[in-house]
Amino acid sequence: MQKLLSNKIKISAIPKYPEVRRDFALLVDTSVSFDSIYSIARQTEKSLLKDINLFDVYEGKNLSEGKKSYAVSFTIQDETKTLTDVQIDKIMSKLQNNFEKELGAILR
């Protein structure tokens, strides 16, 4: 007897307004986890930050001992309007400031 699996498909409309992706390369202590970066980003920008992805981790030469670099992408989108460069820069500045304050992170 064969059993059919039913998968529910979720359909949503294509967003009317574009998303924007910005990247940071953050130099942090080796004890800092990506979860910390993720949590701080979510707390910093709750409504417009749609996605946070880690796409590279580097430890090795050209970095100080006890340091590593996280390359993180941030996807930002407003579902009611197109974001301006000024609005995007303000969000990224808030993220950078909070990473510096809470983690001692430095932009590479």
The answer to whether the beta carbons of residues 104 and 68 sit under 8 Å apart is no
The pLDDT value recorded for residue 6 is 65
Structure tokens at 46: 């709750």
Helix (H, G, I), strand (E, B) or coil at 15: coil
Identify the structural domains of the chain with CATH numbers, from first to last. Answer: 20-107 (3.30.70.380)
The DSSP code for 13 is P
Per-residue pLDDT of the chain (108 residues; tens, 9 = 90+): 555 666 778 787 787 899 999 999 999 999 999 999 999 999 999 999 999 999 999 998 888 899 999 999 999 999 999 999 999 999 999 999 999 999 999 998
Query: Which runs of consecutive H residues, i.e. helices, occur in the chain?
Result: 34-44, 85-103
